[in-house]
Structure 1
């Protein structure tokens, strides 16, 4: 199966290992992975900040970069959800439909399209899972990442309280409403710590980036891992 990957800005710049690990897993299950080096951003930051015209120019480039791809897979429910749900606000009906119907978040693609749950991963640790708002509410994934994690040898997954509550990141929300954002992250970290987990796992590195900063500030022993990082441990 031919798969084009979209790598979000912050993963490209800050967490490139997540992208490489996603590719590693996709290739392990038989996908032929293609990376268009001309790709840039999905346009979400500008759109959320209210700069719709500037965002549209970036989004138009995204559509051009991925036209003709069989499937588009991203290690981010936030970016995939933006393309799928908000491009219609920038383009007339049908202009973005082809790309919108072919973009998937990583775990969603693995379970729903490839029908794969067990990739032969091994990770001996105790962890808890964080549902990102984008994954849960815009992409509609909840069981998919858990199905994949349940097949990882040695991984003990424990659910935290209020697991569907936002971590407080929300992109520019964390900048505009810093005290609220930090308080929300603190509550998430408290709930995660109560499970005695060593790791917080999620499909969205943006959430984990926010939580990791607060974890380090609190000097908590928790660590964060993207789903792809766990599944790439063969």
Structure 2
């Protein structure tokens, strides 16, 4: 199977370790992962803020860059949702099939135990795009439950939005902050050391709030937990 990593511009710029974790994980499972250097933004930022004509060339470029791969894997539910739901709408052409990481592992590879080891108390926030656009269900939790050493605790009101929503957090700052406050309260109620999710954008938003409050709770992308092994300094 010819597999490509679609890292997304957000991860490439701010969270490159997440992309590296995806590669380590998939290589450990026996797959060679290619990283097309010509990949750019999927156009979600433009599409969601009303600049749809500007998103068209980005959608077309995505189709060209990832053509020919058997599978394209991304550690971002929101960008995966953008490609799957909106690229064909913009260009009239069906884009290459993109899988969010947990979908690829559970549905395509048929694995839930990836050989991970992460001895920490963890709670998981299912992001809006993963729940409502991609409908990944409990696939991330299936993967986390199989991690050795983990103490996985349920997050209260897990399906409530964290308040990020891209530019929503900027345009509607007061509402966003209120939603963030509710989400942080739920995270702290679990007593978790680590908050995980499948989108670093949400983790950045929640993690920023937790950091400002000096809670000591850190945020770790699902891919980085699944890529962790016993003896790994990370």
Give the TM-score taking structure 1 as reference length: 0.96
Question: 2:59 touches 2:91 (CA, 8 Å); kept in 1?
Answer: no
Instruction: Return the match for 2:176 from 172, 181, 185.
Output: 181
Could you list the per-position Cα deviations for residues 174-211 of structure 1 after superposition, in whole angstroms to 9, with x for gaps in the alignment?
11011111111111111011011111110111100111
Partner of 2:155: 160
Partner of 1:205: 200
Could you list the per-position Cα deviations for residues 55-84 of structure 1 after superposition, in whole angstroms to 9, with x for gaps in the alignment?
111111111111111100000000001111
Partner of 2:232: none
Shift of 1:98: 4.7
Partner of 1:126: 121
Instruction: Return the match for 1:228 from 215, 219, 223.
Output: 223
Q: Distance in 2 between matches of 1:98 and 1:207?
A: 25
Gaps of 5+ in 2: 230-234
| Range moving further from structure 2, 44-53 or 211-220 | 211-220
User: What is the DSSP-based 3-state SS (H/G/I as helix, E as strand, rest coil) of the residue aligned with 2:59?
Assistant: helix
User: What is the DSSP-based 3-state SS (H/G/I as helix, E as strand, rest coil) of the residue aligned with 1:224?
Assistant: strand
Question: 2:72 touches 2:99 (CA, 8 Å); kept in 1?
Answer: yes
Instruction: Return the match for 1:106 from 101, 106, 114.
Output: 101
Shift of 1:10: 1.3
Over aligned residues, Cα RMSD in angstroms?
Answer: 0.9
Partner of 1:86: 86
Gaps of 5+ in 1: none
Could you list the per-position Cα deviations for residues 203-230 of structure 1 after superposition, in whole angstroms to 9, with x for gaps in the alignment?
1111001111111122212110100110
For 1:1-234, list aligned pairs within 5 A: 1-92=1-92, 95=93, 97-99=94-96, 102-234=97-229
Number of matched residues?
229
Shift of 1:89: 2.3
Question: 2:5 touches 2:74 (CA, 8 Å); kept in 1?
Answer: yes
Give the TM-score taking structure 2 as reference length: 0.96
User: What is the DSSP-based 3-state SS (H/G/I as helix, E as strand, rest coil) of the residue aligned with 2:169?
Assistant: helix
Could you list the per-position Cα deviations for residues 120-172 of structure 1 after superposition, in whole angstroms to 9, with x for gaps in the alignment?
11111111100100000111112111011001011111112110000000001
